[in-house]
Amino acid sequence: MVRNIELSKRQDLILEIVKDEGPITGEQIAEKLNLTRATLRPDLAILTMAGYLDARPRVGYFYSGKSAPQLLGDLARKKIVKDFKALPVVLKESSSVYDAVCTLFLEDVGTLYIVNDKGYLAGVVSRKDLLRAMLGKQKIEDIPVNIIMTRMPNIVTCFPEDSILEVAKKLINYQIDSIPVVKEAMDEGKPVFEVLGRVTKTTVTKAYVELAGE
């Protein structure tokens, strides 16, 4: 895995040799540095696992040609939604705004996913939506939540196999706090979405903290 590491002088020399003469075997590198293959093995392992070198059996070592930021980007793309998604907080569209406010605070979330009577995603309600409704003159107990929700197809979604990096871009680009993780299905010949989970800014932070640890 990639880390922000400072390479030793010997590791720098190894990289220069592989850049200039690759593909090259471990034995040939050791000979050029007047070292034994056993002495060189840990350095080669570090450089390979960090992504600076590629190793191919019976051929030798190649320089990957990627910088550390590029390698970190590659790793980030391998972090996928299904490994980090949290449980969704859903509410039926027949519920009232009062029910939504109570659920929001009890579950301590910033976004609620609204589902229809078949359990498919119908809309999304944010804190801002609820605040606007509460500032009105009508009693929130009398306002159906489906009146204030953002409806399909104007909902940003993601899938379990999407990368965390791509979802992070959506959170930033659309300036939202949460994205529902969905699975596509068909209902009476029309595409619908089953809600499987959610990805939030906290989810993305967790993924990148894990990446940094690696």
> According to the model, what pLDDT value does residue 68 have?
59
Q: Model confidence over 141-183: pLDDT tens digits?
A: 999 999 999 998 899 999 999 999 999 999 999 999 999 999 9
> According to the model, what pLDDT value does residue 2 have?
44
Residues 6+ apart with CB under 8 A from 192: 118, 120, 121, 184, 185, 186
Q: pLDDT grade, residue 67 (50/70/90)? A: low
What token pair was written down for 50?
A: 């960090």
Q: Is the peptide bond before 69 cis (omega within 30 degrees of 0)?
A: no
Rounded Cα distance between 213 and 202, Å, is 16
Question: Considering the chain, what is the average pLDDT of its residues?
Answer: 89
> According to the model, what pLDDT value does residue 7 have?
79
Tell me the CB-side half-sphere exposure of residue 71, using CA atoms within 13 A. Answer: 21
Q: Are 122 and 152 in contact (CB under 8 A)?
A: yes
Main-chain dihedrals φ then ψ at residue 39, nearest 5 degrees: -65, -35
Q: Which residues pair with 186 in a beta bridge?
A: 191
Q: pLDDT grade, residue 127 (50/70/90)? A: very high
> According to the model, what pLDDT value does residue 59 have?
79
The answer, as to whether pTM is greater than 0.85, is no
> According to the model, what pLDDT value does residue 3 have?
46
Give the domains, in start order, of the chain with CATH numbers. Answer: 9-66 (1.10.10.10), 81-213 (3.10.580.10)
Per-residue pLDDT at 52 exceeds 90: no
Residues 6+ apart with CB under 8 A from 77: 163, 165, 166
> According to the model, what pLDDT value does residue 158 have?
97
Q: Are 196 and 85 in contact (CB under 8 A)?
A: yes
Q: Model confidence over 8-42: pLDDT tens digits?
A: 889 989 999 998 887 899 999 999 999 998 999 99
What sign does the dihedral 34-36-42-45 (CA atoms) show?
A: positive
Per-residue pLDDT at 99 exceeds 50: yes
